[in-house]
Homo-oligomer: A and B are copies of this chain.
Amino acid sequence: MATSFQSPKGTRDFYPQDMAVRRYVEDTWRKVSIRHGFVEVDGPTFEFLDLYKIKSGDEIVSQLFHFEGRADKEGRAEHYALRPEFTPTLARMVAAKASSLPRPIKWFSLPRCYRGEAPQKGRGREFGQWNVDILGGDTPEARRQFDLESAALCLDGLRELGLTKDEVVLLWNDRSLVEHLFAIVGVPAERYPFAFYLLDRIAKLSPEQRRQLYTQNALTENETAFFEKLAAGQDPLTDAFWADLPHADVEAYRKPILDATASINAALAAMGFDGWARYDASIVRGLAYYTGFVFEIAASAGDLRAVAGGGRYDKLVEMFGGPSLGATGFGMGDMVLSVLLQEKNKLPKQLLPAPDVFIVNALDTPAAAQKLLAALRASTFNADRTAIARPGLIAITSYKASKNIGKLLQDASASGAKLAIILAPAEFERGVVKLKNLATREEKEIPLASILEEVHGALR
């Protein structure tokens, strides 16, 4: 039994190198969030199952890992689910303290999330996420700023990880522009909810399924032709799209898109992201959910899923029992991003911290080496030592019985350490040790009493 144990399918073991990559990405997300004025939050890894139905409906249940907690005195067990995303937790937390939280609420979190579905490329059953939200905004202008700040933070995170505008692109759309499109085609306003629902899933529906939906909802010939063009991936910004659609005022459709494009491009350019964004009429996923601006980050080449996605969703906090409060934000998973960073060769070569000092101990006992290790790790000078206070050094040793200095120095080099301190019996008796720079191979004798100063000097 024991030898057959594996990690569950769709999960990952993070050995030191893998973990260093994960830490690098998470630390970058955190650093960038903080300099944009966001503060970190988190919630439970599991929530009541019902919490996830509020935003996503009952159909979410089949995509979750869910389980029962301990039964109460009446024998009723509570039903929990591992979080598939952070948004319902965020909405619950904001709703609970909405009146006392300073506005705007600028929160980020780095939750680990879970999906019960079958794993695919870039899509696991456990993954990390960068979740960012801005809540509040008294005016449409303020809310517009929040949309742009959220998009700019998303791009800044990617840029900080080394990606360029040649490698990723922010594709955006807006619910109001799609409504405008519906109006031009002649979709009646009462059918907009259905039209958004249809748009959201059109790529996944078979021709037969689409035909059934058209018939059930009594779509006109015009509307049917319109949705079929979208299903075929045709772009409503092109003349070809409108060629055989009667009564279509193409310019009336294009004008607000061109205006919004100019405005968004100018704002993002001012924020340092000139040429990173593009309007894309095919960004409809989630428009049944979002109430305004919506965006995805796509890799410019290849067949990767979206790197990130987000937008404005002003009904969120109200749905979870809070006040009416504007909300905009995005989520970025670590799995597609990691594939992209590896494909584009963007990961720094050296992510594991190199030891500062390796102690080669050729003495009979470990006591002196342990004492020196402790001093190096603690090494914080005060003013009396006429040296600057500094954090502890990364100090290690081997624990071999061998006293062969040559072999121990090979271990020191293999560890990647910058310096070696050699404790040899005859020298040590004289109160002296050797300090060796493992890169230049230079070494010198120094008094044990001034070892900390010498090591800090050599590392400077």
Taking a contact as CB atoms under 8 Å apart, the answer to whether A19 and B5 are in contact is: no
Q: For residue A82, which residues in chain B have a CB less than 8 angstroms away from its CB?
A: 45-46, 82
Chain A residue total in the interface (Cβ 8 A): 105
Taking a contact as CB atoms under 8 Å apart, the answer to whether B107 and A16 are in contact is: yes
Taking a contact as CB atoms under 8 Å apart, the answer to whether B35 and A14 are in contact is: no
Q: Tell me, rounded to whole Å, the shortest Cβ–Cβ distance linking A216 to chain B.
A: 29
Taking a contact as CB atoms under 8 Å apart, the answer to whether A93 and B35 are in contact is: no
A114 on the B face (CB < 8 A)? yes
Residue of B at shortest CB range from A372? B270
Taking a contact as CB atoms under 8 Å apart, the answer to whether B11 and A44 are in contact is: yes
Q: For residue A70, which residues in chain B have a CB less than 8 angstroms away from its CB?
A: 116-118
Which residues of chain A from 1 to 31 have a CB within 8 Å of any chain B CB?
Answer: 1-9, 11-16, 19-20, 22-23, 31
Taking a contact as CB atoms under 8 Å apart, the answer to whether B272 and A44 are in contact is: no
Residue of B at shortest CB range from A100? B15
Closest 5 CB pairs of A and B: A37-B396, A3-B321, A11-B44, A67-B67, A142-B399
Task: Give how many copies assemble into the complex.
Answer: 2
Cβ contact of A5, chosen from B48, B107, B149, B270, cutoff 8 A: B48
Q: Tell me, rounded to whole Å, the shortest Cβ–Cβ distance linking A217 to chain B.
A: 29
Taking a contact as CB atoms under 8 Å apart, the answer to whether B46 and A11 are in contact is: yes
- Expressed in whole angstroms, the Cα–Cα distance for A97 and B116 within the complex equals 28
Q: For residue A8, which residues in chain B have a CB less than 8 angstroms away from its CB?
A: 44, 46-48, 69, 78, 80
Q: For residue A74, which residues in chain B have a CB less than 8 angstroms away from its CB?
A: none
A378 on the B face (CB < 8 A)? yes
Cβ contact of A92, chosen from B7, B31, B92, B400, cutoff 8 A: B7
Taking a contact as CB atoms under 8 Å apart, the answer to whether A7 and B44 are in contact is: yes
Residue of B at shortest CB range from A102? B414
Taking a contact as CB atoms under 8 Å apart, the answer to whether A266 and B50 are in contact is: no
Taking a contact as CB atoms under 8 Å apart, the answer to whether B41 and A126 are in contact is: no
Interface segment, A331-339, A387-395, A421-429? A387-395
Per-residue interface assignment for chain A, residues 358 to 373, with 1 indicating a CB less than 8 Å from any chain B CB and 0 otherwise: 0000000011001101
Taking a contact as CB atoms under 8 Å apart, the answer to whether B15 and A93 are in contact is: yes
Taking a contact as CB atoms under 8 Å apart, the answer to whether A22 and B5 are in contact is: no
Taking a contact as CB atoms under 8 Å apart, the answer to whether B34 and A370 are in contact is: no
A260 on the B face (CB < 8 A)? no
A137 on the B face (CB < 8 A)? yes
A36 on the B face (CB < 8 A)? yes
A435 on the B face (CB < 8 A)? no
Taking a contact as CB atoms under 8 Å apart, the answer to whether A65 and B46 are in contact is: yes
Q: For residue A36, which residues in chain B have a CB less than 8 angstroms away from its CB?
A: 377, 395-396
A156 on the B face (CB < 8 A)? yes
Q: Tell me, rounded to whole Å, the shortest Cβ–Cβ distance linking A147 to chain B.
A: 11
Taking a contact as CB atoms under 8 Å apart, the answer to whether B394 and A37 are in contact is: yes
Q: Tell me, rounded to whole Å, the shortest Cβ–Cβ distance linking A119 to chain B.
A: 10
A374 on the B face (CB < 8 A)? yes
Q: For residue A22, which residues in chain B have a CB less than 8 angstroms away from its CB?
A: 42
A285 on the B face (CB < 8 A)? no
